[in-house]
Structure 1
């Protein structure tokens, strides 16, 4: 029973990690007033270019850099449309997601061939002699990909930035009261641009985690709604990074149950297990978990003097 629980905790952390990375980046953008509904498309793009870079160079770290570069380009276009051109953020996000799905599917079939499952160079799991073999604790926490621990450092950096830096204060100001922030001398457009770029960076890490650190390959539409779950995690967490991480862990646990319960001999309808993380996300978005108060200016464009 103890070993089963350790495996479940390990699976939960692994499955939640891309959600945590993406949600922590999206949190910064939403706190600044910009909704990146394109998070799903960003993650899918990162997963593809991460796999392509790792496959082409044989170096997983270069694959991660390719993934981040690709999503930073998408984030820059998103910022241009949402911040400078004041386009509808929902429409822009949906458009990006459709484009990413079509483009990655086409490129995947052209480069790798239809239904290819060739394994690509990936990041290995952490193995600390003596510690990784500790009963329960070692299995649960010290047998993950190195990417998990590096990713947690980035998430901790996001938390510290929002809580302790002047930029974090500016992010919160332009997300709640952009006109007051502008009058106080805070550059609203630049702050929102940087916030969206941070989202792109973290989405790049999240997508490349899937293809390089988790399954070591790329498949069509491999994100399979992970970006939307990350968005729901931000809402479920009430735009607080600690609660957002908790929500992502909950979604990861719900996904892990799909594999854990059958292995334990517990017969639960497969459809119910597949639906569980999305049902939790729906409850979060619907506000069933409690009253939600998003940043006041979320999705609202800002134009000086109007």
Structure 2
């Protein structure tokens, strides 16, 4: 008599990969915050004015005791950091909402501590946020330009050059025509010209994209510096004095407390930014062009098999990216100031590239990352104006330190488009 042996399926053991990087970073920041915000908090009352720009109501000021708020923020961050360690020990990640709470208390706690450490502790929250939004504009447009390139499979290191040449073109044409709109159009064309160099060498001649981007940045820096010295400074009244783009207030919306004056009483370039970011998000996610762009950036050979002309789409998208980044360059000479100075972009093109990486190559993510970097840049100016005890050298480093921390530690695991930086050869 034979007996049948039934094979029972073996339970597969899945090994959970534990990534301790983010919980460790949160813990270190929480401990530093405990020392800084709790034990070293200034014994002052910080006052935030909330009613600036509001005409229909008298909104009371927000008064925050620096010591009490510092301890609350530090305790909450310590608790969340410990919770993230417990979750990671179980192989789980901390929910996004709790990460948002952690960074809210960290940023607000540092803000209260820094203003409390200054000689004047009475500031306008509307002015801080409005300035942060305005300073974010070059980085937002730059990161959107980088997004169009990288989602197509082309690494765009040349954002700095696109911003700089856009600023130069805007002031030159704007001054000659006495029209800020002509200057804005010239900034877009200037960005396209820089992109044309990048696209020609990296797509047509298959030169390493990173090297081309770096060379383009050096070329534009030298070229605009030469023209500034030889041409603009020789006749500043006619060639280096452009009119500014107008600003206007949107009725009703501009009267929403705090948010209204910040978002809806701005320069026209900021309203254009809202439109550009919305269009890029919609086109990238909801249109046939967006589907083809994402396919070319992830798997160009498969896209080619389906009839997409890979290199032509990449070429056109890189040129489009130049126009978008050029609009960001116009901020420097048509919104911020009316004159051009050599290398006035001060590395913001590289920060825009970092914002793109921090935002995980998504329009809204890059937007939020750019706003974070713009806020850090604004805090440098605010704290300098308030007479803080923090050394000015440290304040000047603030935007770049935030950039390094964001890309190196806080972004976590992220993967760019699979074909980014890889030239496509049909065959």
Q: TM-score range by the shorter chain?
A: over 0.9
Task: Report how far residue 289 of structure 1 moved.
Answer: 2.5
Instruction: Tell me if 1:34 matches 2:154.
Output: yes
1:281 partner SS: helix
CA RMSD of aligned residues (A): 1.9
Q: What does 1:91-130 align with in structure 2 at a 5 Å threshold? A: 91-113=211-233, 119-128=241-250
The aligned residue for residue 138 of structure 2 is 18
Q: Which residue of 2 aligns with 1:296?
A: 418
Structure 1 residues 182-191 or 55-64, which shifts more?
A: 182-191
Which has more strand, going by share of residues? 2
Matched, 1:168 2:290: yes
Query: Which residue of 2 is the match for residue 199 of structure 1?
Result: 321
> What is the TM-score of this pair, normalised by structure 1?
0.94
The range that moved more, 195-204 or 119-128, is 119-128
* Match among 154, 169, 180 for residue 49 of structure 1: 169
Aligned to 2:380: 258
Alignment partner, residue 61 of structure 1: 181
Shift of residue 128, structure 1, vs aligned partner: 4.7
- The 1:129–1:237 alpha-carbon spacing in structure 2 relative to 1, beyond 3 Å, is closer
In the alignment, structure 1 segments of 5+ residues that lack a partner are: none
Between the aligned partners of 1:98 and 1:66, the Cα distance in structure 2 is: 21
Shift of residue 214 of structure 1? 1.9
Q: Secondary structure at the match of 2:265?
A: coil
Shift in Å at residue 304 of structure 1? 1.2
Q: Which of 277, 284, 303 in structure 2 is aligned with 1:155?
A: 277
TM normalised by structure 2 equals 0.68
Cα offset for 1:260? 1.6
Say which one has the larger Rg.
Answer: 2
Measure the CA separation in 2 of the matches of 1:69 and 1:179.
31
Q: Deviations over 1:241-280 (max 9, x none)?
A: 1111000000000000011223445322222222122122
Distance 1:300 1:100 in 2: 24
1:89 alignment counterpart: 209
**C-alpha offsets along residues 187-236 of structure 1, whole Å, 9 cap, x if unaligned?**
11011112101210111101012211221221111100011011101001
Correspondence for 2:369: 247
DSSP 3-state at the match of 1:296: coil
The alignment partner of 2:266 has SS state of: coil
User: 4+ residue runs of structure 1 moved beyond 6 angstroms?
Assistant: none
The one of 207, 214, 217 equivalent to 2:339 is: 217
Q: What SS class does the counterpart of residue 267 from structure 1 fall into?
A: coil
Give distance in 2, aligned partners of 1:285 and 1:191.
29
Higher mean displacement: 275-284 or 145-154: 275-284
Higher deviation after alignment, 213-222 or 100-109: 213-222
Question: What is the number of residues matched between the two proteins?
Answer: 305
Q: Deviations over 1:5-63 (max 9, x none)?
A: 11111011000011111111210110111011111011100100100010000000001
Instruction: Map 1:74-85 onto structure 2 (within 5 A).
Output: 74-85=194-205
CA distance in 2, matches of 1:116, 1:283: 40
